[in-house]
Every structure is written in structure tokens, then in C-alpha cells.
Amino acid sequence: MYYLYAIHQTSMNKEPKKYNIAVVGATGNIGAKTLDMLVERNFPYANITAAASPRSVGAALRLSNGAEVKIRRIDDVDFENIDIAFFCAGSSVSSEYAAKAANMGCIVIDKTSFFRMEENIPLIVPEINIDSLSNSKTSPRGIISCPNCVAIPLSMALYALISGGLIINNVIVSTYQSVSGAGRQAVKVLRSQSLAILNGDNQEKISSTFPRKMAFNAIPQIGDITAPGAYADEEEKIMREVSKIIDCLSFNISVTCVRIPTFVGHGVSVYVELNKVVCLEELGRMFKRFPGMSFDSRRDYITPVEVTNCDEVFVGRLRQAGNGYLFWIVADNLRKGAALNGVQIAERLIKLDPDLYKFRQRKQT
């Protein structure tokens, strides 16, 4: 295979194409991990442009391969000369700059929630719906959205069952989410609050990062809750995004999001009702054969600490529960939950169309 490819390359008398990449929000948890992923996975980049908030501008960022990248202001990035830009800097930056960049011919892979639910903006988990990019009837807008860090592994586990020929009727989810999902500052706050408590300083630390004290606590609120009886923002995101990714609104999905004092790795406790009775072995096989997913009945489960820096989505604790089934999912929220998924999208784009023409913004004809 590789041999044929090499011949093909030679006969074309052409180097494999390389791409100009930008990472916006390069110093944040997800931006930094995106840079790591690009290097680690040998993404064919010609050069990398890193943009971040004003306080980091001018500093040099050292990549994991030793190369240095100077941090720029986003206004100084020439998106006309960028092939693919990863936006990892928060919704406000995406709202201001992503459409502009796409308009200049750059393909934006947006890690924020800003465009996720917009019609005609694809919301992509490569293992599930990358084909929708080629099949789309609408003109591309040059922006591809990357789902929420829980929505990605959860969609994959549910889609593994759908791919196995099952129909899902009802999904009940409780999450165990790490603080890295709330950004770099949140990690610092958990560290400092934890140290203070362990050192006997139980004074209430005020931190706007979390709605309550985070250290040695569990907070059943991620994002705003607008009214009593309402779902929190994060819960709404997950429910809506899973429905959009799987493109199947026939089942009910209800989510409770809880932030717990872990640094990396989101755990998800799932209950599903299916259209028929299936033995656990068969369900296990569906998880096992799904790309990017790991299921090992001999090792009953993986924990967030163990999943840190792993690419796979791990499923475990599979059990029967009345008329439904229970299982536990865990994934590195910075990798498959965010940066890895984005880089995987880019990898698929350049494979589907090395010139990226198909995916760049085009005016509606």
C-alpha cells in the first residue's frame, strides 16, 4: 500500500501537499493540546501560526518537537494565507473572527460552541458523520464545528449501538467532568483550593471560575441555569449536539452535568433503552468494533486519571438494567473531547480533497 503510494507520488513528481495552519487561542488548554496533536500525529503542515490574547503576544511557544512559534495578535494573522485554522479561544473570538477567516478562503475548525447548532454548519465527529461533508447539498460556509467534550464520546457510544442495527428509545446521562474543560484558569483554581484545604486553610476562597468551591466537592452545574427547573447550558449543549451529530431526533436524551475535582478526563454514566433485548456480549462487540473506541470485558473500566493522554473512548461497566442497559464512558476531554477530534477532522479533509476546494466557503449559486 505504502509502496504504491510512493510510486504514485514519484510518478506525479510532486511532494505531498503541506498546509499552512493557524491555532487561535494557542495558549489555552485546547489550543496547546491542538499544537501537540499536530506535531504528535505528523500533520503535514508547512508552517504554524499561533494567535493568543494580548498578554501572551510576542512570547515564543515551544512545540513538543522543539520548534518555536511566536505568538501573534489575531488581527495580525493573514487568513488568506492559512489553509486550516483551529479556533480554540472561546465563543466571543469565534463570533468575531471565524466568519471573516472563512470569507478569506481559510477553513475554520471551530472548537467553541458558537456555530455548533447553526444550520448549514456541519458538526463533525469523524467516526460518525465525516461523510456528510461530501454529501452536503448546501454550499460550504468554510466553517466546521467541533462538538462539546461530552457530546463527542457520548455520540460515539450511542452511534456504535445504532451502527449495530439497534434503535435507541431513551438515554439518561450523568457526567463526571474534569476542570480542564473549564479552561486553564480552572485547573489553577482547583490546585490552589486543594492545597489550601490540605494545609488546613478552610477559609472560603472566592473564585468566579466555579459556581461553588471546587476542591473536594462536586458541583451539579456546568454553565448557566436560567431558571429553576431549567437545564444548565452544558446539559442543553450535549442534548442538542448529540441529536444533531447522530441526525436522529427519534430518541429522548436527558443529561445531568456534574463538575468533579479531576484535572483531565470526563466520565459519563449512561442508561439506554433499546428497541430489543440484546445480550451484553453482543453490545460489547458493537463497542469494540467501533473506530476509536475501546471495550475490554476483562478490564471492566478505565478511570479519568488512566485515560489522560489516551486517544480512545473507553466503554466499560456494561450491565443490564431492567429494560435497558448501563455503561460507563471515559475519554480525555482535551484529546478526543476537543483537540484530537479537531485535528482528525483536518486529517480527513485533506484526504477527501487535498486542495480543500470542496470545503472552502463558496457563494450560494
Residue 229 lies near its own copies (rule: CB under 8 A) = yes
Our CB check for its own copies shows the closer of 102 and 171 to be 171
Please give the single-letter amino acid code of residue 340.
Answer: L
The CA distances from residue 145 to 3, 86, 119, 142, 179, in Å, are 35, 10, 11, 10, 22
Residue 91 interacts with its own copies (CB under 8 A): yes or no: no
Strand ranges (DSSP E) for 52-138?
A: 60-62, 68-72, 84-87, 107-110
User: What ranges make up the beta strands (E) of the chain?
Assistant: 19-24, 45-51, 60-62, 68-72, 84-87, 107-110, 143-145, 168-176, 252-256, 266-274, 293-295, 313-321, 324-331
Rounded Cα gap, residues 250 and 272, in angstroms: 13
**Shorter beta-carbon distance to its own copies: residue 22 or 149:** 149
- Identity of the residue, 85 or 260, whose beta carbon is nearer to its own copies in the bound complex: 260
> Per-residue x/- marks for its own copies, 169-188, CB under 8 A?
-x-x-x-x------------
Among all chains, which residue has been given the C-alpha cell 452544558? 234
CB of 326 to its own copies, least distance (A): 6
Between 25 and 304, whose beta carbon lies closer to its own copies?
304
Using the rule CB under 8 A, is 321 a contact of its own copies? Answer: yes
Count of residues engaged in binding its own copies, rule: CB under 8 A: 52
Please say if 257 is a catalytic residue: no
Does position 167 interact with its own copies (CB under 8 A)? The reply is no
Distance CA(332)–CA(311), nearest Å, equals: 7
Report yes or no: 177 and 222 within 8 Å, Cβ to Cβ: yes
Q: Is residue 279 annotated as part of the catalytic site, yes or no?
A: no
Q: Give the three-class secondary structure for 203.
A: coil
What's the min distance (Å) between Cβ of 236 and its own copies? 11
Q: Among the options 149, 248, 257, 279, which is catalytic? A: 149
Catalytic residue list? 149, 266
Q: Which positions touch its own copies (CB under 8 A)?
A: 170, 172, 174, 176, 191, 194-195, 198, 212-213, 216-221, 225, 228-231, 252, 254, 256, 258, 260-263, 267, 269, 271, 280, 297-298, 300-301, 303-306, 316-324, 326, 328
